[in-house]
Amino acid sequence: MKAYKSLTKEELKALCEELEKAYIDVKGKGLNLNMARGKPSKEQLNLSMDMLNIYNPSVDPVTPTGVDTRNYGELTGIAEARELMAGMIGVPASNVIVFGNASLPIMYDTVARSYMFGVNGQTPWCKLDEVKFLCPVPGYDRHFAITEQFGVKMIPIPLLADGPDMDMVREYVEKDDTVKGIWCVPKYANPTGITYSDKVVKAMAALKPAAKDFRIFWDNAYAVHDLYEDKKDELLDILSECKMAGNENMVYEFCSTSKISFAGAGISAMATSAENLDWVKKTMTVQTIGYDKMNQYRHVLYFKNADGIKAHMAKHAAILRPKFDNVLKCFDEQLGELDIATWTKPNGGYFISFNAMDGCAKEIVAKCKEAGVVLTGAGATYPYGKDPKDSNIRIAPSFPSAEEMAQAAEVFVLCVKLVTAKKLYENM
């Protein structure tokens, strides 16, 4: 097939009629497929079911360090869980607090804590005339929703092949003291799947913020979520890089087992400097007496250590790989020569980022929904839900079966072709 932009108006008209007929046929199949959110599939969740049996009445609920997990206390989490989560992301356990079921509430609380009480003695954000956050785009919609809820002004920063545009980041961070933070998904980013390069991590750590309370919100959600054994991305440890650069307090790192054990029923953690930890604990002592230590210990008994988590993630990868491969193969074979879209080919994580022709994303998503395939809303990967090019679409292959995902990809490709051909025809 020739590239669409090389077709004559008559050829485009004929193509539109052909694609419209195919689309009507697909709608008649009554499909009901969902690839809107990056949820683990039932098959993935089943991998951890034995965890529910590991903490039973015959198991001593008192940890080796002497903590009765059934009782109050241990605000920062049991020592064994701190070691487990620290090992997973490669930081010292002394820098870690283990929280509850997922990392999103930690990020929300961290923004709320900064807004209400200020950061380490600085002026609370709620008392400032304006607070700004840098938002690499395309990015994670739930990050943007948090800062939007607190009235923070969000500034889009282009996410390049090796990380955020650091020239632009430096310009804002080092010259504007109203810039208080930046959202980052540094490994297998949501939704592009890229991993920040060593150069970008070092540049991030070496920032000289105009604001003393500027913080990097380092959401390392996909730290161990490799898809291919022979193609694993490596990410520098931001905590140690910040410490070497004299910016020890500048970063909060977040992680969880939500896509490792059970989504929404895992354990989560924050890693940061001792000074930041003291600031967090100061408000936590009022907020809670301690998080679910029984669940923390259950994870420790099941995974044992970081190597146990990695072995478990290899099982996840075996389930996810065919889904990603099916989608990418479909895109390559059916769209590769048409010159109407680009897409990422990640080595891990949960998403594929698809860029349609400008002005087409919303219509493609709407067409897919009408045909029974639900996608993340167009624009969701940008602050305020506004993609200036109306181009980016996040593909989440994890939840459907491999067969369903292949079918959904075919429908998606058909909608991309139809919407793009019509737009080119109408603009001729």
Looking at residue 185, its pLDDT comes to: 98
β-pair partners for 374:
34
H-assigned helices in 231-292: 238-244, 274-287
Residue range(s) of every CATH 3.40.640.10 domain in the chain: 61-304
Name the pLDDT band for 37 (thresholds 50, 70, 90). confident
- pLDDT tens, residue by residue, 317-361: 999 999 999 999 999 999 999 999 999 999 999 999 999 999 999
CA 291 from centre of chain? 24
How far is it, in rounded angstroms, from Cα 100 to Cα 261?
Answer: 13
- pLDDT tens, residue by residue, 169-212: 999 999 999 999 999 999 999 999 999 999 999 999 999 999 99
How far is it, in rounded angstroms, from Cα 183 to Cα 220?
Answer: 11
How far is it, in rounded angstroms, from Cα 400 to Cα 80?
Answer: 35
Average pLDDT on 384-392 reads 98
CB 249 within 8 A of CB 273: yes
- pLDDT tens, residue by residue, 147-169: 999 999 999 999 999 999 999 99
Does residue 36 carry a pLDDT above 90? no
Looking at residue 34, its pLDDT comes to: 86
CB 34 within 8 A of CB 400: yes
DSSP string, 167-232: HHHHHHHHH-TTEEEEEE--SS-TTT-----HHHHHHHHT---SSTT-EEEEE-TTTT-BS-TT--
How far is it, in rounded angstroms, from Cα 249 to Cα 344?
Answer: 33
Residue range(s) of every CATH 3.90.1150.10 domain in the chain: 4-44+310-426
Average predicted confidence (pLDDT) for the chain: 97
Superfamily of domain 4-44+310-426 in the CATH hierarchy: Aspartate Aminotransferase, domain 1 (3.90.1150.10)
How far is it, in rounded angstroms, from Cα 29 to Cα 85?
Answer: 46
Give the sheet arrangement for strand 392-395, strand by strand.
342-343, 352-355, 392-395
Q: According to the CATH classification, is domain 61-304 in 3.40.50.720?
A: no
Looking at residue 310, its pLDDT comes to: 97
- pLDDT tens, residue by residue, 244-265: 999 999 999 999 999 999 998 9
First to last CA, the chain: 20
Three-state SS at 48? coil
Three-state SS at 354? strand
